[in-house]
Amino acid sequence: MDADSARPDHALFEFREGMNLAGSERPDLQYRLAFCAAYLFQGRGLADSALAFYNLAAHHAPTDSADLLLPALLNNYGLAREATGDTVGALALYMDAARLVDTTADARDSRVVRDNIRRLSR
């Protein structure tokens, strides 16, 4: 590994270059790449960066409500909104996720979304 690749700013630069290479012909790839980047930022406690990439992922998200990643995107986007103080926006995203999550196949995900809604509805 060279010295440049160990720097987070270099890794982000390379990631953005990959997003640019994906171009507008591949919104599905941009959707998944942006979701993964957001998830990584969120896992590191960088809510503002996560929020930016969840926003980008949402922009490229499929309109097909059967997409299995979409409920996770909406829930995690809501968590990032909540972490940055936007509880109204977070609740709206949780509600959208609740409408899309498969309650039989994804019982755990469904429970997590319901718990998020319940917590903000108090």
Nearest partner of 94 among 121, 67, 69, judged by Cα: 121
Domain around 35: 4-120
Residue 79 sits in a domain whose CATH number is 1.25.40.10
For 49, 78, 85, the CA distances from 52, given in Å and listed in that order, are: 5, 12, 14
SS3 100: helix
Query: Would you state the pLDDT for residue 106?
Result: 73
How many independent structural domains does the chain possess? 1
Query: Would you state the pLDDT for residue 5?
Result: 46
pTM attached to this predicted model: 0.81
Query: Would you state the pLDDT for residue 14?
Result: 73
Separation of alpha carbons 65 and 36, rounded Å = 19
The residue behind tokens 């999550």 is 101
Low-confidence ranges of the chain (pLDDT < 70): 1-11, 22-24
